[in-house]
Amino acid sequence: MQVIRDLAALRAATAGLRANGHRLALVPTMGALHRGHLSLVAEARRHAGAVATSIFVNPLQFGPNEDLARYPRDEAGDLEKLRGAGCDLVWMPTVEVMYPPGAATVIEVGGPSEGFEGAARPGHFRGVATVCTKLFQQTGADAAVFGEKDWQQLQVVRRLVADLDMPIRIVGHPTIREEDGLAFSSRNARLSPEERALAPLLAREMREAISAMEGGAAPEPALDAARARLRGVGFVPDYLALVEPETMRSWREGAPGEARLLAAARLGDVRLLDNMPARLPEGRTSAPESSALASPPGPSASPRPPAG
Ligand SMILES: Nc1ncnc2c1ncn2[C@@H]1O[C@H](COP(=O)(O)OP(=O)(O)OP(=O)(O)O)[C@@H](O)[C@H]1O
Ligand SMILES: CC(C)(CO)[C@@H](O)C(=O)[O-]
Ligand code: BAL
**pLDDT tens per residue, range 132-160:** 999 999 999 999 999 999 999 999 999 99
Residue 253 above 90 pLDDT?
no
Checking ipTM against 0.90, whether it exceeds it is yes
Per-residue model confidence as pLDDT tens digits over 10-53: 999 999 999 999 999 999 999 999 999 999 999 999 999 999 99
Ligand 2 in contact with 131 (CB < 6 A)?
yes
For ligand 2, atom 3: residue with the closest CA? 29
> What is the whole-number distance in angstroms between the Cα of residue 28 and the centre of ligand 2?
6
Atom 8, ligand 2: residue with shortest CA distance: 29
The alpha carbon of 154 is separated from its chain's Cα centroid by a whole number of angstroms, namely 5
pLDDT category at 283 given cuts 50, 70, 90 is low
pTM of the model: 0.92
Bridge pairing between strands 270-280 and 89-91: unpaired
Q: Would you give the end-to-end CA distance of the chain in angstroms?
A: 60
What are the pLDDT digits (tens) for 259-282?
A: 999 999 999 999 999 999 999 998
